[in-house]
Every structure is written in structure tokens, then in C-alpha cells.
Amino acid sequence: MFEEILLSSDFQMTLLMAVALGGYLIAYRVNQSAVVGIILAGIMVGPSLLGLVTYTDFVSSLAHLGAVVLLFTIGLEFSIKEIAKIRYLVIGLFGVVVPAFGGFFLAELFGFDFKAAVFIGVALTATSIAITANVLREMGKLETEAAKAIIGIAVVDDVLALLFLSMAEGIVSGEISVISLLIIGAKAVGFIVIGIIIGKLVLARFIVRLDKTSLCIKYPESIFIFAIMAAFFYALSAELFGLSAIIGSFLAGASFANVKLKRGEIFKEGADHLQIIFASIFFVSLGVILDINSITINLIWFILALTAVAIITKIVGCGLPARLYGMSLKDSTVVGVGMAPRGEVGMIIALIGLNQGLIGQGVYSAIILVSLLTTIITPLVLRNWLYKK
Amino acid sequence: MFEEILLSSDFQMTLLMAVALGGYLIAYRVNQSAVVGIILAGIMVGPSLLGLVTYTDFVSSLAHLGAVVLLFTIGLEFSIKEIAKIRYLVIGLFGVVVPAFGGFFLAELFGFDFKAAVFIGVALTATSIAITANVLREMGKLETEAAKAIIGIAVVDDVLALLFLSMAEGIVSGEISVISLLIIGAKAVGFIVIGIIIGKLVLARFIVRLDKTSLCIKYPESIFIFAIMAAFFYALSAELFGLSAIIGSFLAGASFANVKLKRGEIFKEGADHLQIIFASIFFVSLGVILDINSITINLIWFILALTAVAIITKIVGCGLPARLYGMSLKDSTVVGVGMAPRGEVGMIIALIGLNQGLIGQGVYSAIILVSLLTTIITPLVLRNWLYKK
């Protein structure tokens, strides 16, 4: 009698968390990235294998919540200065253009129609900053030059991918307007600039003052609550300005990056533990999105080719300019590979294409699988090859 | 163009978290329980006032997730021995029977039909352990005799409320069978007994061994991940046995209560920070459930009377037996008041009644509001009156 309620999304939720944390531990045990272990756990209980959990709005929103908290905690480790550089802008531009053309031409080669090819190109522009950042964090590599470059480029990438998506919709509908693209771009850049200024002038100063108040002596956790609240308000604003919510929470985190607090350790430890739970929520949901049964045999070659193109175009588009800017061969390869995961961003673009009737169920499933494959391959390459001890 | 996705449940989620944490800080600032601040924040953005967030399956599942983690962290502070006492069984029995009859007779008095009256009685049996436990934790009172009694009685209460719900469904449908009730009761008690045994013999020993492995030296957070995973598996099992998931996660937490670990502090700090976020998720959702606009004028007297009966019957049903067992007047009042919040448990029962056509929309809304009022009144009374400094 309770079953009707409990065997619903509540139950799925509990199950999802239990297996995600199981995947986490198993990945640690075999010395692999938790990202891979958790995604595989999601694939296992999701529609691809056991079918115990289905991908619903609920799982999607949870993933969103997970990504917001995850990027906030990653932001805490970066100061804005380190990631705001002209060269990352240039690298980011190539890192979006090269995959877009690569995806488009491959799709044309496989005989997809023009609309679908445009959309497949756009889906390849995106980078899921959460994946690589988390893998680097696991390996204690967030302090490196390559990590800073990846994060800086990924922020640029998010803005450009937004513009590309708008352009693609314009090209497909025939209603492309330079003005509307400029407005979208200006809003996105405006949010980032205003967000950084408010972060440094208001948030960072306020938290230092809050740290000294009697409220904080009585309830030391107030600092932590305030910071997380700021992260969610930033995420909210980013969404309103057309950017990913995670860019917002990342900026909020970065605003607090170099702030010296009496209760600083409490703050970091809290963030680390949140990160464990919310990263699990986020990654397990990526596994659940995939329904391997929707992939037909004749799509397999296209998926494999698209995965290769997705990875190579990011290595060429980001890694090559990084090398030309004087980065070491290893670091520029790390940057190229690090930008490869499409993760949830590629999946969201695929969903938009499906909803607008620009791509069919087959192409949709293909993009989902490519996003997932690039997401699983990256940690494996980074951990077992590029950063092998 | 992104808006269609972002103004959906993702956006609502971000908004919900931001205001929940805001409510948390404001409550702290004015020296009130965070529970009240967060619920009021939920009422503000929910359908009752601003209508920005609607109560969906998603919000419900989030609340569920929040409650599971919350009760796990509360379980960490209790050893099983302290709460498993015969006298809590007796007090719990009165604490269920007295409110059930109180609710039933009040409903009859107000002219509701027999089925509705039975259901209203059952809705009053429940106690939301999460509310009082969190308020006591905030005030640093979890170590007290009264807190142990409340938790012990609440576990008994959950089992008995389950039985009462089954009985009510049987009485209403005319198909009541002693055997099926016995099976339900045996399953619930069986789960608790087996859960405690496995917790002590397997979980507690395993975590001590895990603490000494090289995995834990390399990844100290493994301890934490394992414990949370165990909490979700326990929650899952509790649901399968017909109990609330939170009873499961509480038992998992209690299994680790007296375990001595090298990495013990990491563990406690992690749990404390999780608790902040997940308690926020849980309490804010309670505010969103309420739609004040669905309350008609002629229901108001009934709601006020039912709220009074809900509180008085728990004070009489639990507080009086506690006093007779020799507790001080203050402690037995704390126990009585502490058992009063119906929270999400009352709401779930109301939802079952609505879905089965036993109660109408009006009674449903009334029970939701009574559950909410008892939940808000309890922290106010505990903090400003019973535990006033």
C-alpha cells in the first residue's frame, strides 16, 4: 500500500544514490576516476541494462543541482585572474570552430541532411567543464597551468557554444539576425563581467565581514550557508542571462577563492564533502540518460567516427593553439584531451534539436552516446596515460 | 531559446535552494530555528504566495533525499542501546492511539463521513522525526534524556503508524484481516531487528577495517562514501519492508554511532555539512507542498481545531506516559511537544487518502496545513519557551 509511492521516483532516487556511491568506491579500489565508476553505475541501473531507473525530469534536475554545487566547489580553487587571459579566448574560439566544422562535414559525409548536420556540428562545440575539472581535482592537478587553461577556455567555450546554438537555429529556420546574436553574446559576456565585479566587490567583502560577526561565532556554519546561497543566486542569474547555471556557480566559487577567513577550513571541508555527494548525483545521471537499446546497428559506425572526430577536433582546436602559445607538448595535449568531454552540455543540445524536430531519435541517441563516450574516455586517458605515475 | 529548458524544473530547483539557504540565514539572524525559516521560504516561493515553484514529483523526491541524509546524520549521534527501551514502546503506543481517536472524534464532530474521519485519525498518528531531531540538534540538546526518548518513541511510532494506515484501509474497504496486519507488523519489526544486527556485526566492523586499509590512506573520503552508501542501502531496504526510508538511514547512522575511527573527524564534519544542505532541501519542500489558496473559509475552524487536537493528543499521549515513567515535568513536556510535528509523514498519508478517494481535496488541504502548522509550532515552542535561556 505504501508501495505505490515508494516504488516511484523516491525509491529510484534512493537506489540511484546507493549505486552511485558504490561505483565511486569501486573506481577508487581499482584506481580509476570516480567519474567513470559512477557513470557506469548509472548505465547499469538505467534503461540500458537493468531498467530500474528511468531518465525523467527529476533525474535531470538532480544532475543540474549536482553540477551547480560541483562547479561551485571547483570555483573555490581558482582565482579569476588566473583564468581570464586573452590567449584562452583565442584557444576557446578555435576549440569551438574546429569541432563544429568537423562534426558538420562528418555528418554530411554520412549522408545526413543539412539541418541535422548543422546540429551535429553544434553538439560537438560544447565542453562539459565538470568532468575534466573533477578528474584533475581527484589527481591533485588543479593547481597546474594546464588545469587553469582548461577552466579558462571552458568558460569561453560555454559562451561561444551558446552563440553557435543560436546561429544554428537561425541558419536552420532561415531567420538569422546579426543583432539578435550580438544581444545574446553581449548578455552572456555582460553577466560574466558583472558577476566577477559583484563577486569581488560585494560577495568577497561581505563574507569577510560576516566571518567577524557574532552570528558566525554562534553559528560557524553561517559562512558556509552564505557561500552556497550565493552560488545558487549566481547560478540563477546565469540561467536568466542565457548561460549555463554552472558558469554562475563557478564564478561565485571563484569570488571566494582567495578570501582569507578565520573559519576557512570549515568552509573547504564542507565543500569537499558536498562535492562527493553532488558529483555522484551528477555523474550517475549521465549514465541513466543513455538508452543503449535505442542505438541501431547502422548508427554504430557513425557513432564511432563522430566520437573520434569529437576528440581529435578538440585536441587540434585547443591543443594546437595552446602549443603555439608556448605550452609544453604534454600540457597542450592535456588541454586538448581535457576539453573533449561533451557530457551533459552535448546532451542538452541534442535534446533541443530533438524537441525542435531538427534531428530524429537516431541522431539524438548518437549524440547522447558520443557525449558519454568522450566523457568516459577523457578520465581514462588523463589518468592512465597523460598523468601516469 | 535555452529558456524552455532553464525555466523548467532545473530553474525551479536552483531558485528553491537559493531561497532555502536565505531562509536558513535569516532564521539564524533572528535567533529562530532554521526549520521555520526554511519552511517559510518554501511557502513564499511556492503556490501559496509567489507561485514560482510548484510541488511536483521532483520536489517530493528531493525532499525524500533530504530526509534520508538528514536522518542518517542524526543517527550518527545515537547508539541503538540508548533508544531501544520497553518504555519507549509503551509511550509510542499511547502516542499513536490517543491522536488517532482524537482526530477521528473531532472529524465526526465536524460532520465528516466515517471514511474521512478514520483517515483524519490516521493522519494524526504520524510523527515527523526529522523536524524535532533537527531542532534539538540546532540547540545542542541531542544528548539529553528527552531527545533520546523522542527518537526512540518516533521509531516505534513509524511502525505503529504503518499498521494504523493498513488497518484504516482495511476498515474502509471492509477487507480487514488480522493475518495481513500481522505480516505487515512482522516485516517492519523484522527489518529493524535485522538492520540493527547487520549494522553492528557487519557495517560497524567493516568500516573499522576499511579505516585501516591503504585505500583509506590514499582516499580518506572513502570512509565517508561508504557510510553514506550504507545509509542509502538501508533506506532502500526499509522501503522494501514497508517502513519509511528515513528509519533505514537512521539505523545505518546509529550503527556507526560509537565506532572509533582514525578518520573520525572527517566523517563528522562531512555529515554536518551535508546536513545543512539536505535539511534545507527537505524543509523548503514542505513549504512548497502547501497551496493556501485551496483552503476554503469554512475549513478554517476545522483546521484550527485539528491543529490543537494534533498537538494536545501528542502531549497527552506521549508526555503523560513519559511523566508516569518518572521523567521530569519539563522533559515530559518536551517529549510531548517534540512528537507533535506531523511534517511530511502526515502529508504522505493525506496523499494516499486523496489518491484512494477516501478524502476530498478540502480534507486533503486541511491535513497538509495541519501537518505544516504542527511542524512550525514545535520549533517555536521548543526554542522560545521550553528551552529558553
Give the residue from B264, B255, B256 showing the smallest Cα distance to B220.
Answer: B264
What's the mean per-residue pLDDT of chain A?
85
Among A12, A14, A233, A389, pick the best mutation site for testing chain B contact (most B Cβ within 10 A).
A14
**Could you tell me which chain A residue has the CA closest to the CA of B280?**
A225
Compare CB distances from A226 to B25, B224, B277 and report the shortest one's residue: B25
Residues of B in contact with A236 (CB under 8 A): 11, 14-15, 18
How much is the pLDDT for A241? 84
The per-residue pLDDT for A3 is 44
pLDDT at B311 over 90: yes
Q: What does the pLDDT read at residue A265? A: 67
**DSSP per-residue letters across A258-304:** T---TTHHHHHHHHHHHHHHHHHHHHHHHHHH--GGG--GGGHHHHH
Most confidently modeled of A202-216, A367-381, B42-56?
A: A367-381
Name the most confidently modeled range: A275-279, A363-367, B2-6: A363-367
Residue B223 has pLDDT above 90, yes or no: no
pLDDT (mean) for B300-324: 95
Q: Which residue has the higher pLDDT, A353 or A201?
A: A201
Name the band, by pLDDT with cuts 50, 70 and 90, for residue B1. very low
Per-residue pLDDT at A121: 93
Nearest CA in chain A to B246: A14
Q: Is pLDDT above 80 for B8?
A: no
Question: For B269-335, what is the HEC assignment?
Answer: HHHHHHHHHHHHHHHHHHHHHCCHHHCCHHHHHHHHHHHHHHHHHHHHHHHHHHHHCCCCHHHHHHH
Chain A residues within 8 A of B351 when measuring between CB atoms: 5
Asked whether residue B65 carries a pLDDT value surpassing 90, the answer given is no
- Whole-number pLDDT of residue A160: 84
Stretch among A32-46, A53-67, B329-343 having the lowest mean pLDDT: A53-67
**Which residues of chain B does A61 touch, with a Cβ-Cβ cutoff of 8 Å?**
9-10, 12-13, 58, 62
Among B18, B62, B222, select the one facing A233 at the smallest CB separation: B18
- Model confidence, pTM: 0.81
B274/A1 Cβ within 8 A: no
**CA quadruple A105, A110, A111, A116: dihedral sign:** negative
> What is the structure's pLDDT at A264?
65
A72, A253 contact by CB (below 8 A): yes
- Residues in A closer than 8 angstroms to B270, CB to CB, are 269, 272-273, 276
Q: What's the pLDDT band for A6 if we cut at 50, 70, 90? A: very low
Q: Is pLDDT of B5 > 90? A: no
pLDDT-based confidence at residue B85 (cuts at 50, 70, 90): confident
Instruction: Return d(Cα A101, Cα A213) in angstroms, integer.
Output: 55
Q: What is the pLDDT of residue B23?
A: 92
Q: Which of B340, B322, B328 is nearest to B87 (CA)?
A: B322
Left (φ > 0), alpha (ψ -120 to 50) or beta: where does B242 sit? Answer: left
Query: In Å, how far is B325's CA from the nearest CA of chain A?
Result: 34
What's the rounded Cα separation, in Å, for the pair B90 and B68?
26
Specify burial of residue B208 (Cβ count, 10 A radius: 0-12, 13-18, 19+). middle
Which tens digit of pLDDT belongs to each residue from B279-290? 888 888 888 888
* pLDDT reading at A152 higher than 80: yes
Across the range A76-100, mean pLDDT stands at 87
For B156, residues 6+ apart whose C-beta sits below 8 A from its C-beta are B88, B89, B91, B92, B93, B95
| Mutant choice from B3, B17, B134, B265 vs A, greatest count of A C-beta within 10 A | B17
- Min Cα–Cα distance to chain B from A2, Å: 6
Chain A residues close to B229, C-beta within 8 Å:
17-18, 21-22, 24-25
To the nearest whole number, what is the mean pLDDT of chain B? 85
Set of chain A residues whose Cβ sits within 8 Å of the Cβ of B175: none
**What is the band of A1 on the pLDDT scale with cuts at 50, 70, 90?**
very low
Give the burial string for A22-53 (b: 16+ CB within 10 Å, else e): bbbbbbbeeebbbbbbbbbbbbbbbbbeeeeb
| ipTM higher than threshold 0.95 | no
pLDDT surpassing 70 at residue A2: no
User: Helix, strand, coil proportions of chain B in percent (round to 5)?
Assistant: 80, 0, 20
Per-residue model confidence (pLDDT) at position B129: 79
* A21, amino acid identity: L
Nearest Cβ partner of A273 from B11, B242, B273?
Answer: B273
With CB atoms and an 8 Å threshold, state whether A236 touches B18.
yes
Q: How far does Cα B296 stand from its chain's mean position?
A: 27
How far away is chain A from the Cα of B323, in angstroms, using its nearest Cα? Answer: 33
Q: Is the pLDDT of residue A272 over 50?
A: yes
B264 pLDDT band, cuts 50/70/90, is: low
Q: Do B21 and A229 touch (CB under 8 A)?
A: yes
End-to-end, the C-alpha distance of chain B in Å comes to 55
Report the distance separating Cα B334 and Cα B147, nearest Å: 8
State the nearest Cα–Cα gap between B242 and chain A, in angstroms: 6
Of the given ranges (A3-12, B299-308, B336-345), which has the lowest mean pLDDT? Answer: A3-12
Q: What is the topology classification, in CATH, of domain A58-386?
A: Na+/H+ antiporter like fold (1.20.1530)
- Assign A190 to helix, strand or coil: helix
Asked if residue A66 has pLDDT above 50, the reply is: yes
Considering only CB atoms, B10 lies closest to which of A4, A61, A271, namely: A61
A-chain residue closest to B215, CA distance: A29
CA distances (Å), origin A296, targets A37, A363, A365, A369, B17:
26, 10, 9, 12, 40
CB-count burial class (<10 Å; 0-12, 13-18, 19+) for B362 = middle
In this prediction, residue A101 carries a pLDDT of 95
Do the Cβ atoms of B17 and A65 come within 8 Å? yes
What is the arithmetic mean of pLDDT over A259-284?
78
Work out the percent of chain B whose per-residue pLDDT is above 90.
27
Closest residue in chain A to residue B161, using alpha carbons only: A2
Whether A222 and B28 lie within 8 Å, measured CB to CB? yes
Considering only CB atoms, B61 lies closest to which of A10, A24, A68, namely: A10
Confidence class of residue B373 from pLDDT cuts 50, 70 and 90? very high
User: For chain A, which residues make up each domain, given as ranges?
Assistant: 58-386
Instruction: Check: CB of residue A291 under 8 Å from CB of residue A56.
Output: no
Instruction: Say whether A269 and B274 touch across the interface (CB within 8 A).
Output: no
Total CB pairs under 8 A between chain A and B: 194
How far away is chain B from the Cα of A377, in angstroms, using its nearest Cα?
22
B6, B354, B389: best to mutate for the A interface, most A CBs within 10 A:
B6
Q: How confident is the model at residue B357 (pLDDT cuts 50, 70, 90)?
A: confident
The residue among B79, B81, B71 whose CA lies nearest residue B259 is B79
Residue B215 half-sphere exposure, CB side, CA atoms within 13 Å? 21
Query: Alpha carbon B72 to chain centroid distance?
Result: 12
Residues of B in contact with A268 (CB under 8 A): none
| CATH of span B63-386 | 1.20.1530.20
A266·B269 Cβ contact <8 A? yes
Residues of A in contact with B235 (CB under 8 A): 14, 18
| pLDDT greater than 70 at residue A219 | yes
Segment B106-135 mean pLDDT: 89
CB of A265 closer than 8 Å to CB of A67: no
Calpha distance A67→A279 (Å, rounded):
7
Residues A161-206 have pLDDT tens digits of 878 887 777 777 777 778 888 888 888 888 989 999 999 899 888 8
A17 vs B232: CB contact, 8 Å cut-off?
A: yes
- The answer to whether A26 and A37 are in contact (CB under 8 A) is yes
Is the pLDDT reported for residue A8 higher than 70? no
**Contact between chains at A21 and B224 (C-beta distance less than 8 A):** no
8 Å CB contact of B13 and A224: no
Tens digits of residue pLDDT in B10-26: 778 888 889 999 999 89
Residue contact A245–B6, C-beta within 8 A: yes
Q: What is the pLDDT of residue B6?
A: 40
Q: Please state, as a whole number, how many other Cβ atoms lie within 10 Å of the Cβ of residue B265.
A: 10
pLDDT at residue B3 tops 50? no
Range of lowest pLDDT (A260-269, A331-340, B77-86, B97-106): A260-269
Higher pLDDT, B83 or B108: B108
* Interaxial angle between packed helices B34-45 and B11-29, expressed in degrees from 0 to 180 and rounded to the nearest 10: 140
Residue B228 has pLDDT above 70, yes or no: yes
Yes or no, beta carbons of B2 and A229 under 8 Å apart: no
Query: Residue A228: its chain B contacts at CB < 8 A?
Result: 17, 21, 276-277
